[in-house]
Amino acid sequence: MRCNFKVFRFDPSKDKEPYYRNYTVEAQPGDRILDCLNTIRWEQDPSLAFRWSCAHGVCGSDALKINGASALACQKLVKNYTTTDFLIEPIPVFPLLKDLIVDMEPFFKIYHSIKPYLISQEPPPETERIQKPEERKMIEDTIKCISCACCTSSCPVNLGENTDYIGPAALVKAHRYIFDSRDTTMIDRCVSLNSYDGAWGCKTYFYCTDVCPKSIKVTSAITRVKQEIVKLKRAKQL
Ligand code: SF4
Ligand code: F3S
Ligand code: FES
């Protein structure tokens, strides 16, 4: 089938303003949007810049705005859309570098600020730190996060209401450690999220949940973090 791609272009080394360029690709219904972009780059226009690595929904590097919604180009198939016209743009919120590539430094700076690693005051055991299956269940959903930024780039708060809001991706990662039975810093983690730039910045818009390519219940994870903060406050531990 013939698919029409309107692709955002901007090369800061030569363009004064961004513009859109049209391409036509012969694609099969089961082709991924990433396959189509590669066809464009390999057969029509090698100057088109975009990121990808695993091509299997694992690395999280090919988040793009496809027909207005953030998604992984390697996960979306041509047949997932009711049209053969595709508008391809870089994800918003982050500074544009070139064409479809944005600067992810601000995203990973926030990511590192929530300390995305296990912290335990317990002495290291001789073997691994044991976690029971029912304890693992607490973080089963948020552990799937691949840090693709589809959620953060879709959240109206991050898009302008409060650009200092740490965003859903960081809160999902925080949830994953707050409720990890082996981590002993739940209170410290909740203290650092108890602000309007932290967990309270979320206005429950649900866009994050709608776009998450790993089907994580993002809004409910954030709500769970808020509930834990309230619980600690009531217990005067916060
Ligand atoms: Fe991506 Fe989902 Fe993780 Fe957000 S929560 S960064 S959308 S995988
Ligand atoms: Fe934004 Fe998701 Fe909360 S879209 S406001 S982080 S529910
Ligand atoms: Fe790795 Fe799409 S290329 S998630």
Distance of CA 149 to the CA centre of its chain: 2
Please tell me the residue having the least CA distance from ligand 2 atom 1: 155
Question: Is a pLDDT exceeding 90 seen at residue 237?
Answer: no
What is the DSSP pairing of strand 19-26 with strand 63-66?
unpaired
When the pLDDT of each residue in the chain is averaged and rounded to a whole number, the result is: 97
Q: What SS3 state is found at 90?
A: coil
Q: Give the tens place of pLDDT for each residue, 32-65.
A: 999 999 999 999 999 999 999 999 999 999 999 9
Signed CA dihedral, 89, 91, 95, 100: sign only: negative
- C-alpha 157 to ligand 1 mean position (Å): 16
Cβ neighbours, 10 Å, residue 90:
24
Determine whether the shortest distance from the Cβ of 218 to ligand 1 is under 6 A. Answer: yes
pLDDT digits (tens, 9 = 90+) for 51-110: 999 999 999 999 999 999 999 999 999 999 999 999 999 999 999 999 999 999 999 999
What are the beta bridge partners of residue 21? Answer: 7
* CATH superfamily entry for domain 105-234: Alpha-helical ferredoxin (1.10.1060.10)
User: What is the percent of the chain with per-residue pLDDT over 70, rounded to a whole number?
Assistant: 100
The number of residues in the chain equals 238
With the most atoms of ligand 3 within 8 angstroms of its CB, the residue from 72, 100, 147, 150 to mutate is: 72
Model pLDDT, residue 238: 82
Can you tell me the mean pLDDT for 120-144?
95
Q: Where exactly are the structural domains of the chain?
A: 2-102, 105-234
Q: Whose CA is nearest to atom 3 of ligand 1?
A: 145
pLDDT at 174: 98
Q: Which residues contact 185 (CB under 8 A, 6 or more apart)?
A: 115, 119, 177
How far apart are the C-alpha atoms of 54 and 52, rounded to whole Å? 7
Residue nearest atom 8 in ligand 1 by C-alpha distance: 145
Q: How far apart are CA 181 and CA 110, in angstroms?
A: 23
Asked if 145 and 216 count as a contact pair (C-beta separation under 8 A), the reply is: yes
pLDDT digit string (tens) for 6-30? Answer: 999 999 999 999 999 999 999 999 9
Cα three-residue angle 45-154-82, rounded to 5 degrees: 60
Residue from 33, 35, 37, 74 to probe ligand 3 pocket by mutation (most atoms less than 8 Å from CB): 74
Assign a CATH topology to domain 2-102.
Ubiquitin-like (UB roll) (3.10.20)
Q: What's the pLDDT at 226?
A: 98
Mean pLDDT of 186-201: 97
What is residue 7's predicted lDDT score, i.e. its pLDDT?
Answer: 98
Mutate to test the pocket of ligand 1, among 70, 146, 152 (most ligand atoms within 8 A of CB): 146
Q: Per-residue pLDDT for 236 more than 90?
A: no
Q: What is the mean pLDDT of residues 147-170?
A: 97
Q: What is the mean pLDDT of residues 125-145?
A: 96
